[in-house]
C-alpha cells in the first residue's frame, strides 16, 4: 500500500447540546465534504451523538476535530475519540435513526 494514505476507522461520542441543533445533518455534510464514509446517530440518553467513520486517516483526523466543535448552535461538552481498525464497511455517510 505504499503511496496511499493509511485507512482507518474512528468512533466519536459527542455529548452536550447536540440533539435538535442539526448536528447530524451538518455532520453528514462535513463527512461528504471530506470524503469519509460511515454514519451518525442520536444516542438514547438525549444528550449524545455517536459518529462512526472510515477513510484516509488525515481526513478522519480533520473530521474528528470538527466533531469536537460541531456546527453553529451546538454546545459540545465532551467528545471521546476512539481509533479502530479499518473494516471497509461503508459506501456512503448516513444519518441513522
Residues with a known catalytic role: 24, 42
Q: State the number of CA atoms in the 13 A half-sphere of 82 facing the CB.
A: 10
Residue 18, C-alpha cell as written in the block: 447536540
H or E segment to which residue 50 belongs? strand 48-56
Provide the 10 A C-beta neighbour count for residue 5.
Answer: 12
Looking at 1-97, list the stretches that DSSP marks H as alpha helix, in order from N- to C-terminal side.
Answer: 23-34, 57-69
Amino acid at each position: 500500500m505504499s503511496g496511499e494514505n493509511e485507512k482507518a476507522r474512528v468512533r466519536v461520542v459527542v455529548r452536550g447540546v447536540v440533539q435538535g441543533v442539526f448536528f447530524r445533518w451538518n455532520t453528514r455534510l462535513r463527512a461528504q465534504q471530506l470524503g469519509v464514509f460511515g454514519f451518525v446517530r442520536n444516542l438514547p440518553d438525549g444528550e449524545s451523538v455517536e459518529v462512526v467513520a472510515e477513510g484516509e486517516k488525515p481526513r478522519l483526523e480533520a473530521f474528528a476535530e470538527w466533531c469536537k466543535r460541531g456546527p453553529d448552535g451546538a454546545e459540545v461538552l465532551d467528545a471521546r475519540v476512539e481509533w479502530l481498525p479499518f473494516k471497509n464497511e461503508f459506501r456512503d455517510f448516513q444519518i441513522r435513526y
